[in-house]
Amino acid sequence: MTVPLTAYLVVAALLFAIGVYTVVAQRSAIMVLMGVEVLLNAIGLNAIAFWRFTAPDDYSAQILAILVVTVGAVEMAIGLALVLLLYRQRRTVEVDAYADLNG
Q: Which amino acid belongs to residue 97?
A: A
All structural domains of the chain with their residue ranges: 5-95
Q: In the prediction, which pLDDT does 29 show?
A: 87
pTM of the model: 0.82
Q: What's the CATH fold of domain 5-95?
A: Helix Hairpins (1.10.287)
Instruction: Give 44-91 pLDDT, tens digit per residue.
Output: 999 999 998 898 888 888 898 899 999 999 999 998 998 898 888 888
Distance CA 55, CA 7 (A): 18
C-beta separation of 80 from 33 below 8 A: yes
Side chain identity, residue 48: I
Is residue 8 a contact partner of residue 65, using CB atoms and an 8 Å limit? Answer: no
Please report how the helices 29-54 and 60-90 are oriented relative to each other, as an axis angle in degrees rounded to 10. Answer: 180
- pLDDT tens, residue by residue, 1-18: 889 999 999 999 999 999
